Amino acid sequence: MGTPHNEAAVGEIAKTVLMPGDPLRAKFIAETYLEDVTCFNHVRNMFGFTGTYKGIKVSVMGSGMGMPSIGLYSYELYHHYGVENIMRIGSAGSISDEVQVKDIILAMGACTDSNYAYQYRTNGIFAPIADYKLLKNAEEQALKLGISPKVGNILSSDIFYHDDPEVNAPWAKMGIMAVEMEAAALYMNAARAGKRALCMLTVSDHILKGISLSAEERQTGFRQMMEVALNTAVAVDNL
């Protein structure tokens, strides 16, 4: 039996799920990389697919945009479908001189301006972090493909069109590499469920320098990230 947002039956989703924001990107990954593919979800067009990659069962599903959206879908995957590992694979805007467009980021931590953590009633500020085993394996798989990922802290923001043009300067001062909109909620859901999560990002824009990748460059860069994530899924299959 499914949920209000996912029509999959229990057992139709693999224990490792890759989550791009765009459901059409999930469809692209399934059609390009997976074998024996089945579509397990059409609800709200948030497509989800399960297939095999190098003989290992893997699922891929869109998360939508923002922390409320990935929070909803990842919660259901962890709690209703027995998913153990979720890897967000998305885009980000750099706010660091050390991180350039086309770079791949492995988000060790995810600062946030969101109030998502209020529900846990922690007596202080909860620090959302990646699962170390997923992070370690992803870095190893990237290096095998000749990719040197940037590993460090990012910002998950609730606001895309911010009214304050200087809003990112204090974060940059604290060593934040890039801004995106989902990872912190994913990391919190994983922590609460006792599961694993990792956010992997391709830098599509440099916010401070006003540089953006072309559509063709985005496609190439995102494919590298997809391959790192898929190979990581295979590597962690026995975790």
Task: Specify the pLDDT at position 3.
Answer: 96
Active site residue 131: no
C-alpha dist (Å) from residue 91 to 65, 110, 147: 11, 14, 17
The pLDDT of residue 1:
72
Mean pLDDT by 10 residues, the chain (239 residues): 94 98 95 98 98 98 98 98 98 97 97 98 97 98 98 98 96 98 98 98 94 80 94 94
Handedness of CA 216, 139, 70, 99 (dihedral sign): negative
Structure tokens at 202: 């391709």
* pLDDT at position 183: 98
Q: What pTM, to 2 d.p., does this model score? A: 0.97
Question: For position 111, what pLDDT does the model report?
Answer: 98
CB-side neighbour CA atoms (13 Å) of 124? 3
What's the pLDDT at 233? Answer: 98
**E-strand spans in 21-127?**
35-41, 48-53, 56-61, 85-94, 104-112
235, 214 contact by CB (below 8 A): no
CATH superfamily, with its number, for domain 16-235: Nucleoside phosphorylase domain (3.40.50.1580)
237's CB contacts (< 8 A; 6+ apart) are: 16, 56
Where do the structural domains in the chain lie, given as residue ranges? 16-235
- CA 209, 23, 64 angle in degrees (round to 5)? 65
Q: Which of 36, 97, 103, 205 is catalytic?
A: 205
